[in-house]
Amino acid sequence: MKKNSLEYAVTILSALKVLSLLVVGAAYASAAVEKPNILIIFPDDLGYEAIGAYGGLDYSTPEIDAMAEQGILFTRAYTNPVCTPSRVSLHTGTYTLDHGHTEVLSVHVGTTDKVDFVKWPTFAQLLQADGYATSVTGKWQLATLFHYPDHPLVAGFDSWCVWNIWDGINEVKTSRYYNPAINRDGYIMDGSTLAVETTLPGGTVFPAGSVLPDVTDDFGPDVLHAYVKERMAAAVVADEPFFIMHNMLLPHSPIVAPPSSGGASLGNMIEYMDFLVGELLDEIEALGIRENTYVFFIGDNGTDVGADRMTVDGLVSGGKRDLNDGGMHIPFIVWGPSGITAGTTDDGLVDITDVFPTICGLTNVEIPSSIECRGNSIVPQIHGRPGIQRSWVFGGIDNSQALFDGEWLYVKLGSSTETLFDCRNLPSEVEVTLPGASAENAANARLQSILDFIPSSGDTFEIVLDNDDSEGVAIVGDWKVSSATAGYIGSNYMHDQNTGKGSKSVSYTFSVPAVGNYDVSIQYASGSNRASNVPVTIASSGSSTTVSLNQTVNGGVWFSLGEFGFDAANPVVVTIETTDTDGYVMVDAVKLTYLEDAGYLNWKALNFGLSSIIDSAQEATWGNLADPDGDSIVNLFEYALGLSPLMSTDPCVTPKINVDENGRFVCRAVVRKGDAQTTIAAQVSETLELDSWGALDARFDLVSEPLSAEVDELTFRIKPEEAVPESLFFRVRVE
């Protein structure tokens, strides 16, 4: 059942306004090229505050500052606070809660562990399959190449020039800077002579007696720098698009004196890194490919330095490995074609997982539905258009996670320690004593609930109640708590001790957030002495169904009791009883799974928290017509238009209507695809009469660009052969 039909319209009143809108139309002209080149420059251990363009005062970065002046700077980009988790999230578009790499992979001691890029596909693999020449440089702390020599190839790179971190022959960690150990496509660039014919992972054959190139007298970052230039030039000659992932090595410890500096210091290393960035941008200009090349400058995690750093806004504390602003807040600058308005900034939240869909969006490479990607494309923002706005960003390290919503930082250390920080005046972060003021308590509860929900969010929507939950579970009679048999949810389960039959029961009461069909499942620890005839009653809206459950089998998994239709206006009560049972009755957890497209429900849970949206008393916050951020756009529209329901300053409201350089109307909207709860449709009218609205017809060309798995950017442009109407009105209808 769909309710609350609404429209949100932006209009142009007549053709007389066309001339006054030509400048706006030029700003909206697409900068996309069919197969643009991509270069990601990824410095090692460099937080945002180290860059002058971000207000940093401690280090000199004139080339990167100039890059920002000629491109777009994202002021609030965040990642995991250490290298392996950050890099895996970048390559795969997933959180640490998904891919499980929460700590530095110990390649430096020769680990046989690796990142499984078959299980967790990369955007490099997609670009490679689409005809891109793909290359990677620098630190490859994702597998020990001594054990897995083809690992970069598996990850989607045709060629590589990386630091060979572990010398498996001598069993020592190697150097990255002076006397560097560099692995080029499977061989070590040490000047040695091959005793036998050698086939590299990519298939290249070196005859016996071949003398390998020798870079042991060079500075490691310079070797990588030359390789990037070589690969760009080769792609230009071959007339093929390239993607280069340039892991710079700099300015990671150890602190050394770079070739052009006066001594060993972090400042000199950052200055040399900056110089190399400038040289690469100059090389792109010299090759004549700037209009077809996007260059990203992105930090991998916070700066690794023991002292506070000064910015124009104050001192930045913390750094690498810290779940705070100093550890997770990174530079994120995009430079390239003229379609990027020079000197612009974007204050929206950006997560490292957003890189995956952004690169695919720029290159027009489709992300298969089989790939789980948590990120949102920021292609529209790069080109000066409205896009999806994040409500929060994620960070993870060890067994800890953090959520930052732009004002509040919620940190969960391990399984129990939880801390909230007031970040409304960054770089100042003030730990909050809880319980505190209402705003603090609300932020803590919301972010806690969102973090708890993230692992289960996806194509389905689930609500789980466990026997030891403080709310929603009613226990009648004397039940024994136990954890003796494996296969239970949470910390324990209960059983009736096989006594007092008929006098004991446990009821689970659910509030369901949407009308529809749900699967009701139960989990318990089975065994031969369990009851084979446990009555389980599912009741809602005045009707009930009782299922007889055999608990001697099917334990330790979610066992379905059936599918049921529920009304959101009435609670669902699942009751386990002991009447006339023939053995021990086990009680653990019950789960409701929504069986229809759960996009809107997941969106609500990821913005307001699962505990809120199943609480009818909080409907004034999460309801369809609620407006919690006070921006006059209700939640249903915030969802439909890819907005955040918690950001009143959200700059990305669509739909918009514009005029292109040829004086023709262009309609744009960021919209979701719709689901079981919503129907979303773009419509036009020339008169504003109620019966004149209709779908965009054959007069319009449509370009649909995916920004995430659920959201598209739609562009409707009147075809050149069609007459331009005197007036045109454009709206998105949601019901």
DSSP letter string, 553-572? SSTTS-EEEEEEEE-TTS-E
Residue 192: its pLDDT value, please?
A: 95
Residue 442 has what DSSP assignment? H
pLDDT the model gives residue 176:
97
- Order the strands of the 534-540 sheet from edge to edge: 473-476, 505-510, 572-577, 534-540, 543-549
What would the pLDDT profile of 563-597 be if each residue is shown by its tens digit? Answer: 999 988 789 999 999 999 999 999 999 999 998 87
d(CA 277, CA 74): 18
Query: Tokens at residue 83, please?
Result: 């290298």
Q: Residue 97 belongs to what H/E stretch?
A: helix 96-99
Q: Which CATH superfamily is domain 461-595 in?
A: Galactose-binding domain-like (2.60.120.260)
pLDDT of residue 611: 82
Distance CA 274, CA 62 (A): 7
Question: Partners of 412 in the beta sheet?
Answer: 401, 418
Which positions of the chain have pLDDT values less than 50? 1-4, 11-33
Residue 675: the pLDDT is 73
Domain-wise residue ranges, the chain = 37-180+218-390, 461-595, 653-733
- The whole-number pLDDT of residue 33 equals 45
Indicate the average pLDDT of the chain.
91
Give the pLDDT of residue 22: 23
The confidence score (pLDDT) of residue 598 equals 80
Give CA separation, 373 vs 27, 141, 598, in Å.
30, 22, 17
The CA-atom distances, in angstroms, between 623 and each of 234, 471, 499, 506, 608 are 56, 22, 45, 31, 10
Assess whether the region 37-180+218-390 and the region 461-595 belong to the same CATH fold.
Answer: no
CATH of domain 37-180+218-390: 3.40.720.10
Other C-beta atoms closer than 10 Å to the C-beta of 462 total 21
Assess contact for 522 and 558: CB atoms under 8 A.
yes
Q: Using CA of residue 183, residue 185, residue 189, residue 194, what is the dihedral sign?
A: positive
- Specify the pTM: 0.86
Q: Taking the alpha carbons of 355, 358, 363, 369 in that order, is the dihedral positive or negative? A: positive
| Closest to 575 measured CA to CA, from 672, 507, 630, 629 | 507
So what's the pLDDT on residue 480? 97
At 9 the pLDDT is 53
Rounded to whole angstroms, what are the CA distances from 158 to 49, 51, 125, 134, 648? 34, 32, 10, 5, 45
- Give me the DSSP letters along 98-129: HH---S---GGGT-S-B--TTTS--HHHHHHH
